[in-house]
Structure formats: C-alpha cells, structure tokens
Structure 1
Amino acid sequence: MRFAPFFAAAVAVTIALSTPHDPAVSGGIEFGPTETPKPKPQKKAPPPAAPLPDAAANGVTPPPAAPANAKSAPVNATPPPAATAAAPATPAAAPGTPGRVSTKGLPPPPAPRNCKTTWSFDSWMRDFRREAAAEGISPRVISSVLDGMTPDQSVISRDRRQGFFAQSFLDFSAKLATPNRVTNGRAQIERNRATFDRAVKQYGVAPSVITGFWALESDFGAGMGKLPIMRSLVTLAYDCRRGPMFRDELKAALQIIERGDMTVDTMIGSWAGEIGQTQFLPTRYLEHAIDYDGDGRPNLFSNATDIIGTTANYMAHLGWRPNEPWLQEVRVPAQMPWDQSDLTIKHPRTKWGQWGVTLADGSPLPADAMPASLILPMGRFGPAFLAYPNFDVYLQWNQSLNYAVTAAYLATRIDGAPPMRRGREGIPTLSIDEAKDLQRMLTARGFDVGEIDGLIGLKSRQAIKAMQLKYNLPADSYPTPELLAAMHGG
C-alpha cells in the first residue's frame, strides 16, 4: 500500500492468470512518479530522540551525525538518520501500538535512482543497532533478527527499475482493473458480508473500496510475495535511495516482532517489506492493524476479518468521508478551459456542468456544490473522471496517479459501473526517451521536475501545463509529441 502512502513491490498474480505477475508494483508506497496534489508544508522534523536512560547507562549512544551529502560521504560514513514526526492519534477502535512516524501524508522524497551507497554495511549496521536500542527495542530482538543479516542486491535492483509505472494509463489500467478482479471483488463482498457491514457502520468505507485495494495489492492473498521481509527492510534501510524512510520501517518491524505478532520466519512478503494481503508497511501495521475477529492477534496474512477491519481502520485514519463518492467517470466537451483539469483545482459539480462536463452516459451532472477535480490521465482525448475529496485517500495509499485512478475505477466497477470509455483511438504517447527529453528541456527552462527519469509525475505535469499555455496549446497537462516539437522549435 502506501504510506505511503505513502509510502510498492509487485503487481499481484491475477486469479485467472490473464494478468501476468509483474515484480514492479504493489503495496502502500509507489516508488515511481509522484502525481499527488501539492502536500501541505510539513513541520520541521525534531532531532533524533536521546537515548533512553537504561540505554545510556549501558553505554549506548545515538548514531553519529549524518553526512550532508550522501554521494560525497567517505566510505565508512553513516547514512542520514531517519527524520521523525509526531504520529497522529490512533483511532479508539485500533488497539495497535502507537507509532513514532506519521502514517498520514507523503513519505520523504527519495534520492535519485543513480545514487551511490558509499558507507559500509558493517558500519551502518552498528549505528542502526545503537539507534534501535536507544529507542527501546530490546537487545534480544535486535540480536535475534539482525545477527548475520546481509543486504539483498536484487531488492535494490527492483527498487531502481519500477518501470511498470511508465506505462500509459490505458495500458496500466487494462492490466490491473481486469474483469476477473471485478468478479472476485464482488465474490469477496458476498463471502464476508457481515464483516463488511460492520466495517461500513464503524468506519464508513464502502466494501468495493476495500476489495479494490485488496485485489490490486495481492489478488486476495495470491500474490503477497515470497521474500523475507526483514532482509528486504534491512536492504532498503541501508541503501542510499530511501534509507531514512526504511530505517523507520525496519524499527517498526522489530517492534512488531518484539510484541509477539510475528516472527522473522513468518514475516514473508514483498521485496518492499510490506505485510499481508493489503500490503501494509510495518509502521502502518504497528499503528493501524486491529484484531477485528477478537482471537487475540491481528492477522493480515490469512484472516479476512482482520484484513477488512484493518484496511477500513487505516482508510478512516487517512480521512475517508463516509457516504461520499471517490471517483466518477464523466464526458468532456470538445472545448473547455483545459487548464482547470488539475488535481490541485476543485470546483463544485455545478461549475463543471456549466463548462459542458456530463455524466458518462451524457446526462447532466448533479447541480450541487460537491467539490471535485477533473482528471484527464490521457489528456483531453482520453478517459475523463471527476475526483472527489475521498480520492485524496487513494493518493495517500499510493502516489502513482495511474495506480490511484485504476484502484478507484476498479472500486466503481465492483459497485456496478460500466467499463470506462477509452476515448479517441491512437492517443499519442511519448516513449521513455522522449519523456526524458521533455523533462530535460523543462529543467533547462527553469522548472523543477525532479529526477529526469521519463516518469511524468506531478511536477512534470505542472511544468507541461505552463509550457502548453506559453505555446497556446490546450493546457491539459498531458505530454504530447506536439508539445515536444514546439519546445524543440524554440
């Protein structure tokens, strides 16, 4: 899921095998483009916590200061310690251990994919052990889990690739929002009707929304991953790209083992260290996993009741609004103010209707004040959706716009919506190399598009809109060969 978010691992094996397993996607965090609305400014993180009294008495000290620039750090330098933030209060229905890390909002930005880990693993591990002990994790658990642990280079390689997210929305959604997942989602709702009814009453989250995530994350348990989670977490915490974030996840996983929920041997899952059938990162599990069937322990690997209750609990924490829509397919006119199609812009449905936007069947939108953003994942010639405030929860679960829209669309299909209109045939798309070329030119013109990786995220889309306005092109924020040619021409 993700944090994470946020805050990725593998496209689950589809039950009917019509969708091939792809090791590039899954889970609460998406490691590719970040196409989310602008986050609110975050408060400056407090300094690392001081050692606990008993730790200090035993000579345990906090890790040394991190180098200012990981790329230029000496070989034995210590990587940056994780930034921490006050965790939001745990809902009353969630008896989990409150976490030290916020499980709302966006993860810290990653380093570029070509970053180099210049510190030695042994020195990093010594410093991490001191840090974990200073935060109260017992020496017994630290030793039992981390003794003899080594990084897994294949995990780092998977994190660097993430090419699945470079596909167009139509290709991406066709592979993930399959008819089999619609059918199996409906079957899960019927099979667990009493639990879903209870979750709706307690948290207000629709069964189709939960089953949409459940299907995409693991195909209801068929594709949770088969790697040792602790080794994956150690690897990602040591690596330069997302070290601070995964130091927190690794510590949370140690706490999960310490409180007895799992053992190292039962912690089996995705390469990104996610847990269970809806792929919770350890910080999310620690704070939001609940024992929804009352058998004494949360079980997100095989207990449908706990999976449903925990997922609903987490979504309520992210701000889910009961009895409100999340995504709705619409039809757009041939001409309208395209620059208003932006996740950061919301208008009442009345305004969208005045501009000629209708329901997908051509009937008028409700003439009310419900705020919504217009999403055009493939530009003005492709599918169109109104995204409501609940869609923000999808973007906190996973930061890829393609993933978030696909998950939200799948939920509407499970609820009975017809297949979406694919728009005009032959919608132009850019290759990865062309997208990188576009990003380089945008950067040369003073725009901050983040990493030049060919993945068109929020920053790139905002810059694209600005250049479309400059060249008097329809400002739908969609990268086209037309814009690329205009920029090459000056």
Structure 2
Amino acid sequence: MRTTLLAAALSLAAALPAAAQQAQCGGSWSDFVEGVAQEAIAQGRDPAAVQRFTASLRQDQKVLAADRRQGVFQLDFTTFARRLISTSRLQKGQQMAREWASTFDRVQARFGVPPGVLLAFWAFETDYGAFQGDFNTANALATLAHDCRRPELFRPQLLAAIQLYEMGDFDPARTTGAWAGEIGMVQMLPRDIIENGVDGDGDGHVRLKTSAPDALMSGGKMLQHLGWRAGEPWLQEVRLPAQMDWSQSGLNTTLRPDQWQAMGVRPRSGQWQAELPASLILPQGHKGPAFIAYPNFNVYFEWNQSFTYVLTAAYFATRLSGAPVFEPGTPDTGLSGEQMKELQRKLEARGHDVGGIDGILGAGTRAAVRAEQARLGLPVDAWPTRELVNRL
C-alpha cells in the first residue's frame, strides 16, 4: 500500500551528477520516449531491447491522480495504526513467520534484520503478497518521469527498468505494481532491485512478485544497505511523568536511557532495551502514546518518508516481536484536514516553511508548531490543537 516513495531512491538521485538531475520532462510524449531510449543506449543497453521496451510505453492518468492523492496520511497515529493493524493481519504475520522461518533465519544471519521488521513491511506494503498493485510498472515510471514534479527520481528508475528487462527480470507489458513504480511483495523500485536484489530461492533470477525468499532476502539486504544495525532495537513504548520538559521530545533530540530515566520516563514493560542514544516520540502530544526511538528507527525513513507510516510500521514490528498493544492515552483532539490547512496557512503567514498547504502533519509543520507552542507558552510537543489554531 505504498503511497510515498522509497527515500533510498531520493538519496540515489541526490548523488547523481547535476546534469543527470536536470532530467528532461514534459513536452511531446514521443520526444520524451525517444530521449529515454537514447539515454538507455548511451548507458550500454542493447538498442533492439530498448526499442522493444519503449515501443509500448503509454501515459497513465490514473498514476498522476494517485500521485496527487495521499489523504491517508492526514490520519493521526492511533487511527492509522488501528486501521492497518487488525487481529487477522497480526495472526497472518505470525503464520507467515512460521511458514518462512528458515528464510527469516537466513535474513537475520546475513543482514541482521529481525523477522518482525520485514513482516511488518510485507504486511503493510502488499498484505503479505496478496495485493501487489495493478498499475503497469513501465507506464507508471514513464508517466512520472515525464511529469515535471520529480523527473530526477523517476527517470533513473525507468532506465533501471530497461536494464532489468535486458536481464530477463522485467516484462514491460506484464509487470505490474504500485502507482509509483514499486514492484513485488515488499515493493522495491527497479534501481533498488538491481542494487539489492537477492536470488533467495536459487533459480537464477530475482523475482519479487512470485518468490517470498527473493522478496524477503532482498528486503533484508536493502535495509542493511540503508543502515540497519544488527542486534539493536528500533522502538520501545514508554510511560511519561505528569510533567517534564516536553521540548526534549522529537527526533532532533537524542539522549541516553539514563537521561530519559532521570526525567521520569520509564519503559512500559521490562527494562531499557539498550544503552543507545534515543529520541522520545510523542505522535499525538504529551497526553497520547509515547515511544523511545533508537538509531534503527531512522532507517525506516529511508524506506518511507511519512512519519505516521514509519511509526506504525515500526510499532507493528514490535507487536510481531511480542510487544503488547500500545496505550493510547487521552490526547487532545487533533485537527481535521481542513483545520490543518488553516493552521498551515497561519504558520506560513508567520514566516514558517511548512512544506506546502496539504493538510498533512509533516516535518515542516511539526517544527513550526513547536516554535509557536514555545512562543505562546504551550506544551512544546509538536501536536497541533484547536487551541493553538485559535491563539494564532
């Protein structure tokens, strides 16, 4: 169900030479396709293969519509988590953990990624492979590369798809996936498949749509490539004191567990998991659920850039690893999409960069909320309320 892009691909695009980043986009579709073909041939692809691949490329307006429609990320963490994490999905995950136990053992031994982490992605991305998307991948990538919003991201992925086709692991007519071009059970973009694909079942191919061993091994390798640290935790639920310096919360502050403990923060169950620098995460403010995020948590943002998605995936990974259901607390009522847009307009009027008026509580909006909460003497926990809107 991926609705944002792999940030790994963003970092790859950022590393490209400046000329490559200024990808051609827009204009005549035929001229665009011809330009892609010429670039692929210049990269060493077989001209006949390139011609076969590009001959059938078509624009897909449904892809553009999906790219501009991401309202699910307007939901708060508790609502989003309850929508995605059902009893049946948890039970299915436990079943898949048993069914593919030997593969998960190989993934953990080779890449250091625990089963729960991959199971959570497998569940959220495709419901354990059941729903992998029905967009024609070649057309989706071409459409998004032609669109001038992010050509520097999608043009390299389209070229990578041509390379996969030449390798025999991509069919431009039949390969389908998510609207943003991700393929397979754990949804990887073509360039990520080339760089991190693993033949987990030994058949000589990397087929993420039909082979669970290929998908899980490839997902594990990609997480390791993105910085996953073996043997370390990623998220732990905590309980908070009635009062503390709420401005210490957020991903920009990291403290040792003994420092959090000195402030009155306690693990909900058991002991602190590790003596690692960690951040206090309050997705719905100081009255809502609370988590300590360890360094591995940051790797989730290399897979997906939505804070709500990332926290939910990380939390579900802990559930699949034996953690209890989180305590929802009694957070102040959040804002609707339109109310959030009203807040963003007011924040922009005060000179804050919120990253656009989209009704989504993203990093820019959270930072602006914190600044205004501090100015107004409100708890600095990055959770926007109607009171904040009114006082602005």
Q: Give TM-score scaled by structure 1 length.
A: 0.76
Report the equivalent of 2:225: 317
Aligned to 1:414: 320
Map 1:119-198 → 2, pairs under 5 A: 119-198=27-106
1:119–1:245 distance in 2 versus 1, CA, 3 Å: same
Distance in 1 (CA, whole Å) between partners of 2:323 and 2:115 is 15
Q: Decide whether the 8 Å contact of 1:331 with 1:358 is kept in 2.
A: yes
Whole-angstrom CA distance in 2 between matches of 1:223 and 1:282: 19
Q: Is this contact kept in 2: 1:208–1:411, CA < 8 A? A: yes
Q: Take 1:178 and 1:27, find their aligned partners in 2: how far apart are those partners?
A: 24
State the shift of 1:329 in Å.
0.8
Q: Is the 8 A contact 2:4 2:306 kept in 1?
A: no
- 1:226-258 Cα distance to aligned partner (Å, 9 max, x none): 221101111111112222210011011111001
Counterpart for residue 17 of structure 2: 46
Structure showing the higher helix proportion among its residues:
2
Q: How does 1:18-417 map to 2 (within 5 A)?
A: 25=3, 28=6, 45-48=16-19, 80-81=22-23, 119-361=27-269, 365=272, 369-417=275-323
Identify the match of residue 329 of structure 2 among 383, 405, 423: 423
Distance 1:345 1:29 in 2: 22
What is the Cα deviation at residue 150 of structure 1?
A: 2.0
Amino acid at match of 1:388: Y
Q: Greater relative contact order: 1 or 2 (C-alpha under 8 angstroms, separation 6 or more)?
A: 1
Q: Deviations over 1:370-411 (max 9, x none)?
A: 211011111111111100000011111111111111111111
Candidates 366, 369, 386, aligned match of 1:464 = 369
Deviations 1:38-82 (A, max 9, x none): x9xx97752447xxxxxxxxxxxxxxxx9xxxxxxxxxxxxx417
Q: Which residue in the other structure is 1:6 paired with?
A: none
Q: Distance in 1 between matches of 2:53 and 2:26?
A: 24
Helix, strand or coil for the counterpart of 1:330? strand
Cα distance in 2 for residues equivalent to 1:27 and 1:417: 28
Structure 2 Cα separation of the partners of residues 199 and 27 of structure 1? 24
Please tell me the root mean square deviation across aligned C-alpha atoms, in Å: 2.3
The Cα offsets for residues 305-346 of structure 1, whole Å up to 9 and x where unpaired, read as: 112211111111111111110011111112111111111211
Structure 2 equivalent of residue 448 of structure 1: 353
1:469 maps to a residue whose letter is A
Aligned residue for 1:419, secondary structure, equals coil
1:111 corresponds in structure 2 to: none
**Residue type of the partner of 2:250?**
D
| Alpha-carbon distance change, 467 to 27 in structure 1, aligned in 2, over 3 angstroms | closer
- Amino acid paired to 1:380: H
> How far off its partner does 1:364 sit?
6.2
How far apart, CA to CA, are the structure 1 residues paired with 2:95 and 2:350? Answer: 52
Counterparts in 2 of 1:44 and 1:271: CA distance versus 1, 3 Å: closer
Match status 1:480 vs 2:388:
no
Deviations 1:282-321 (A, max 9, x none): 1111110111222211121121211221111111111111
Aligned-partner SS, 2:238: strand
CA contact (8 A) 1:443 1:449 kept: yes
Structure 1 287/46 Cα, relative in aligned 2: closer, same or farther at 3 Å? same
Between the aligned partners of 1:319 and 1:148, the Cα distance in structure 2 is 38
Using the TM superposition, give the Cα deviation of residue 440 of structure 1 relative to its aligned residue in structure 2, in angstroms: 1.5
* Residues 120 and 266 of structure 1: CA distance in aligned 2, closer, same or farther (over 3 Å): closer
- C-alpha distance in structure 1 between counterparts of 2:237 and 2:5, whole Å: 25
CA distance in 2, matches of 1:285, 1:139: 22
Quote the Cα distance in structure 2 between the aligned partners of 1:371 and 1:329.
15
Aligned to 1:371, the other structure's residue is in SS state coil
What is the letter of the counterpart of residue 140 of structure 1? A
Count residues with an aligned counterpart.
391
Runs of 4+ in structure 1 displaced over 3 angstroms? 25-30, 42-45, 363-366
- Report the alpha carbon displacement of residue 259 of structure 1 after superposing the two structures with TM: 1.2
Segment drifting more, 389-398 vs 264-273: 264-273
Shift of the alpha carbon at 1:148?
A: 4.0
**TM-fit CA distance, 1:132:** 2.3
Deviation readout 1:102-142 (Å, 9 max, x if unpaired):
xxxxxxxxxxxxxxx86232332232222222222222122
Secondary structure of 1:156's counterpart equals helix
CA distance in 1, matches of 2:14, 2:302: 18
Kindly indicate whether the alpha-carbon contact (under 8 Å) linking 1:353 and 1:364 is maintained by their aligned counterparts in 2: no
Residue 239 of structure 2 contacts residue 267 of structure 2 at CA under 8 Å; is this kept in 1?
yes
Q: Structure 1 pair 44/210, CA: closer, same or farther in 2 (3 Å)?
A: closer
Structure 2: tracts of 5 or more residues without a match:
none
After TM superposition, the structure 1 stretch with the greater mean CA deviation from structure 2, 200-209 or 438-447, is 438-447
Report the Cα distance in structure 2 between the residues aligned to 1:43 and 1:212, rounded to whole angstroms: 28
- Deviation track 1:131-163 (CA, whole Å, cap 9, x = no partner) reads 222222222122112114221111101111111
Q: Secondary structure at the residue paired with 2:353?
A: coil
SS in structure 1 at match of 2:279 = strand
Per-residue deviation at 1:219? Answer: 0.9
Using the aligned pairs only, state the percent identity.
41
Per-residue CA shift, 1:84-112, capped at 9, x if unaligned?
xxxxxxxxxxxxxxxxxxxxxxxxxxxxx
